[in-house]
Amino acid sequence: MHSRAAELIEALTLEPHPEGGFFSQAFRSMSTVRPADRRPDRPALTVIWFLLIDGSFSRWHRLLSDEAWHHCEGAPVELFTAPAGGGAVERRLLGPLVAGAEPLAVVPALSWQAARTLGPYSLVGCSVGPGFSYDDFTLLASIPPAGRPSFDPPSLLDELL
């Protein structure tokens, strides 16, 4: 493991995340909102630190809320998204403002998403509004194969499952 990644795990008190990588909660709003889709009240906003290290990835998952990814340091991240029902996978490069990269990307609610670092480590912040709840989180791997959407290209489905 890269020495800076190890420093970040300790400094930010990061723990393994169910989707892959490491995380810790940085902020949870005391204000609550009632989502329009009739879910119970949620914090208005939640924010986590999320670290991907070489060889790890964020597995395909979806949330019932919008999620903003903010690149903080390290290598660029490939962020993959696909519509809720499947279809073409969009690839975005999240990183410093250089050719082809952007420091911020938003994944709309219900979209499938997965990510991987393009170097030894990548630290991002992920902001979710209405705030994150595990009740609103689905790992694609938890859906039986016959019920999973198909992605184009199909190789990305298995590669990041």
- Give pLDDT, residue 99: 75
- Give the span between the Cα atoms of 137 and 147, in whole angstroms: 17
Helix (H, G, I), strand (E, B) or coil at 68: strand
- Give the span between the Cα atoms of 132 and 55, in whole angstroms: 26
The residues, ordered by sequence, that sit 6+ positions from 36 with a Cβ below 8 Å of its Cβ are: none
* Per-residue pLDDT band at 69 (split at 50, 70, 90): very high
pTM more than 0.75: yes
pLDDT above 90 as % of the chain: 91
The 10s digit of each residue's pLDDT in 6-59 is 999 999 999 999 999 999 999 999 999 999 999 999 999 999 999 999 989 999
**Count of domains for the chain:** 1
Q: What is the mean pLDDT of the chain?
A: 96
- Give pLDDT, residue 98: 80
Of 46-50, 99-103, 104-108, 124-128, the range with the lowest mean pLDDT is 99-103
Average pLDDT over residues 149-161: 91
Average pLDDT over residues 136-150: 95
Boundaries of domain holding 125:
3-159
Among residues 65, 61, 49, the alpha carbon closest in space to that of 125 is found at 49
* Per-residue pLDDT band at 1 (split at 50, 70, 90): confident
In CATH, what number is assigned to the domain containing residue 27? 2.60.120.10
